[in-house]
Amino acid sequence: MNELSKRILVAAIGVPFAIALFYSGGVILLCGVIIVSATALWEYYIMAEKKGFYPIKRLGVLAGIALQAVFYIFYSDRDWFGLFLALMVLLIIFAILTLAASLWRKHGSAIAGTAATYAGVFYIPFLLLSLIILRDLQPVTSTILMERQIGFGGLLNTLSITRPEWGAWLLLSVFIGVWVCDSAAYFVGKAIGNRKLFLRHSPKKTWAGAVSGFFGGIAGFTLTMYLLVPMFPLWHSIIIGMMIGISGQLGDLAESQLKRDAGVKDSSAILPGHGGALDRFDSLLFVAPLILVYLLLAAIYS
């Protein structure tokens, strides 16, 4: 089976599974995000070890799981003070335990190891928290945006009340936008790409592929949102699609930089034709948080 066939097979299995996760939301989605985050974080730590850094892998993964679980509990209850306090306590304990655990490490730099441990948690589990919020904006729209009953803020409130499943379709639209962006960049770049985009970090990426990916992100997100959530303003969809087309490719390049530095082709081989979990979700690590920030700012200042 060639690489393209493997990619198609994994996508055929993964897409229905992702739709089920998005639609279910709640604890089921949380478990899915935790599994992806923990796997991708472990891959990141393995790459760090190839550079001679020795992060405290198990502690970092446990901290990432605790971060997402604690956030979900307090966010779902709309307990903002409890959320702030719990995250502060968790981060303080994580910082102290990481430094304390490094006292018993007999290899590698303590500074590099602890830095890699911290960086991995903020790069992957922290950024993927945005998926949980995007799936259910109700705690935000019903409190922080409760006064914004007109404009885009009012629309988000209305959607959260009248169509609570719209967050599932938003997530699906984001994933399809990222997928179309990646696919367009891959196939067009492979077919007609000559001028390299970023030879130092990703020698196969081309300007032709990047431009195609940009418009693919716009088309994928805009069309999907129009079909699934027609109330969502078209011009907001276009802006978010542009963000996907740019930030998604930046996320991919950022991870390519890490892999090239570590001297590996893929973060792992758990997904045939796709590499590892970090390879598959690298674009989303940049896309999802930026979309969340955009939606909140647009709602507040509309």
Structural domain boundaries of the chain?
1-24+138-302, 26-135
pLDDT over 90 percentage in the chain: 65
pLDDT at 6: 63
Could you write out the DSSP letters of every residue in 66-122?
HHHHHHHHHHHTT-HHHHHHHHHHHHHHHHHHHHHHGGG--SS-HHHHHHHHHHHHH
In total, the chain counts a number of residues equal to 302
Report the chain's mean pLDDT, rounded to a whole number.
89
SS3 percent helix, strand, coil of the chain, rounded to 5, is 80, 5, 20
As to burial, measured by CB atoms within 10 angstroms (0-12 exposed, 13-18 middle, 19+ buried), residue 132 is buried
pTM of the model: 0.93
Decide if pLDDT at 2 tops 70: no
Helix (H, G, I), strand (E, B) or coil at 126: helix
pLDDT at 282: 94
Decide if pLDDT at 17 tops 90: no
Report, as an integer, the average pLDDT of 245-254: 94
For the stretch 145-185, pLDDT in tens is 655 556 787 788 788 878 888 999 999 999 999 999 998 98
pLDDT at 94: 97
For the stretch 89-121, pLDDT in tens is 999 999 999 999 999 888 888 999 999 999 999
pLDDT at 116: 96
Q: Cα angle at 66 between 119 and 37, to 5 degrees?
A: 55
Decide if pLDDT at 83 tops 90: yes
Report, as an integer, the average pLDDT of 61-67: 98
For the stretch 188-217, pLDDT in tens is 888 886 777 766 667 778 888 899 999 999
For the stretch 122-150, pLDDT in tens is 999 999 999 999 999 888 877 666 555 56
pLDDT at 195: 76
Element (H, E) at 192: helix 166-192
Phi, psi of 202 (to 5 degrees): -145, 85
